[in-house]
Amino acid sequence: MQNGHLDQLDATDARTVVLERAVLATNDALAAVNRQWFADRRIVALNLVSSPGSGKTTLLERTIRDLGADLPMVVIEGDQATENDSARIRAAGARALQVNTGTGCHLEAGIIGRALDVLAPQADSLVIIENVGNLVCPALFDLGERAKVAILSVTEGDDKPAKYPYMFAVADLLVINKIDLLPYVDFDVKRCIANARAVRPGLEAIAVSAKTGENMDAWYSWIRRSRVG
Ligand SMILES: Nc1nc2c(ncn2[C@@H]2O[C@H](COP(=O)(O)OP(=O)(O)OP(=O)(O)O)[C@@H](O)[C@H]2O)c(=O)[nH]1
Ligand SMILES: [Mg+2]
């Protein structure tokens, strides 16, 4: 079945569509509760989305080490399994809560609400949500965040914004990571940004290496601006 051909649905497909709409409506209502909760405390929440291994946790580890002393932040880690990432975040110096989604492929707003009850972030702080590594499903689920940050590493190919357009269409920032590897891969940064802007006109883009620290200041400036906006 092609997208948009709802008239070709059989009864089972139609029930699936109705159920999906109900799930998303429930999620949107809980996301609105989270958004108000953040606003009441002047907390900025960022939702980091990407395919597995783009370097989300590495980016956060360096961010915590570089900014953590001035900017209080807590991290909600979403993974299907293991406590690996929350352990890395704590070792970098921030409080973290690990959420294991099991067979689930994304975080939902209700889960974030319960994680906030546990973490109790302070007013005027930053809450960073590292979503489950997946370029598809997390695009559909609003968590109540101020911004979605899509991270794409140069080993993944500069065509990914064209092939997975829904994620980049809802992103507020594109971070291209692992630029230290550019000499070894066929990845055109300008073409990648053009592909992303074809689905999200005007999308802001920053190219960094979370490993070497190259251009991380641009990411830090964006974080500071997001707290004012
Ligand atoms: N060369 C290079 N490697 C990087 C960079 N950032 C991350 N890596 C490596 O990429 C691998 C994956 O990094 P992670 O930070 O675990 O990626 P992730 O997006 O958090 O992964 P998931 O949580 O599993 O989706 C690790 O081996 C990192 O050391 C970078 O800027 N340059
Ligand atoms: Mg990670």
The answer, yes or no, to whether any atom of ligand 1 lies below 6 A from the CB of 77, is: no
Q: How far apart are CA 103 and CA 100, in angstroms?
A: 9
Ligand nearest to the CA of 51: 1
Residue 130 forms part of a structural domain: yes
The answer, yes or no, to whether any atom of ligand 1 lies below 6 A from the CB of 56, is: yes
175 sits in which H/E element = strand 173-177
Residue 57 forms part of a structural domain: yes
Whose CA is closest to 77, among 113, 131, 38, 122?
131
In the block, tokens 């070792």 appear at 91
The answer, yes or no, to whether any atom of ligand 1 lies below 6 A from the CB of 181, is: yes
Q: How much is the pLDDT for 15? A: 76
What is residue 13's three-state secondary structure?
Answer: helix
Q: How many domains does the chain have?
A: 1
Domain that holds residue 109: 6-228
- List of residues 6+ apart from 151 with CB closer than 8 A: 48, 49, 50, 54, 55, 56, 59, 174, 175, 176, 177
Residue 152 forms part of a structural domain: yes
- Token pair recorded at residue 65: 């080490």
**pTM of this prediction?**
0.93
Ligand nearest to the CA of 86: 2
The answer, yes or no, to whether any atom of ligand 1 lies below 6 A from the CB of 57, is: yes
The answer, yes or no, to whether any atom of ligand 1 lies below 6 A from the CB of 55, is: yes
Atom 32 in ligand 1: residue holding the nearest Cα: 178
Strands (E), 24-123: 44-50, 73-79, 95-100
Q: How far apart are CA 66 and CA 28, in angstroms?
A: 34
CATH number at residue 88: 3.40.50.300
- Token pair recorded at residue 210: 């979370």
Largest distance between two CA atoms of the chain: 57
Centroid of ligand 2 to alpha carbon of 89 (angstroms):
9
- List of residues 6+ apart from 120 with CB closer than 8 A: none
Contact between residue 169 and residue 145 where contact means Cβ atoms under 8 Å apart:
no
Centroid of ligand 2 to alpha carbon of 15 (angstroms):
35
Q: How much is the pLDDT for 228? A: 80
Residue 184 forms part of a structural domain: yes
- What is the atom index within ligand 1 of the atom nearest the CA of 132? 25
Residue 186 forms part of a structural domain: yes
Contact between residue 55 and residue 151 where contact means Cβ atoms under 8 Å apart:
yes
Residue 1 forms part of a structural domain: no
- What is the atom index within ligand 1 of the atom nearest the CA of 51? 25
The answer, yes or no, to whether any atom of ligand 1 lies below 6 A from the CB of 47, is: no
Atom 21 in ligand 1: residue holding the nearest Cα: 53
Centroid of ligand 1 to alpha carbon of 53 (angstroms):
5
What is residue 219's three-state secondary structure?
Answer: helix
Residue 102 forms part of a structural domain: yes
Residue 216 forms part of a structural domain: yes
The answer, yes or no, to whether any atom of ligand 1 lies below 6 A from the CB of 175, is: no
Q: What is the pLDDT tens value at each position of the chain, 229 positions in all?
A: 444 454 555 777 777 777 778 889 999 999 999 999 999 999 999 999 999 999 999 999 999 999 999 999 999 999 999 999 999 999 999 999 999 999 999 999 999 999 999 999 999 999 999 999 999 999 999 999 999 999 999 999 999 999 999 999 999 999 999 999 999 999 999 999 999 999 999 999 999 999 999 999 999 999 999 988 6
The answer, yes or no, to whether any atom of ligand 1 lies below 6 A from the CB of 210, is: yes
CA distance to 15, 129, 211, per residue, from 21 (Å): 10, 24, 40
Q: How much is the pLDDT for 7? A: 55
Centroid of ligand 2 to alpha carbon of 145 (angstroms):
18
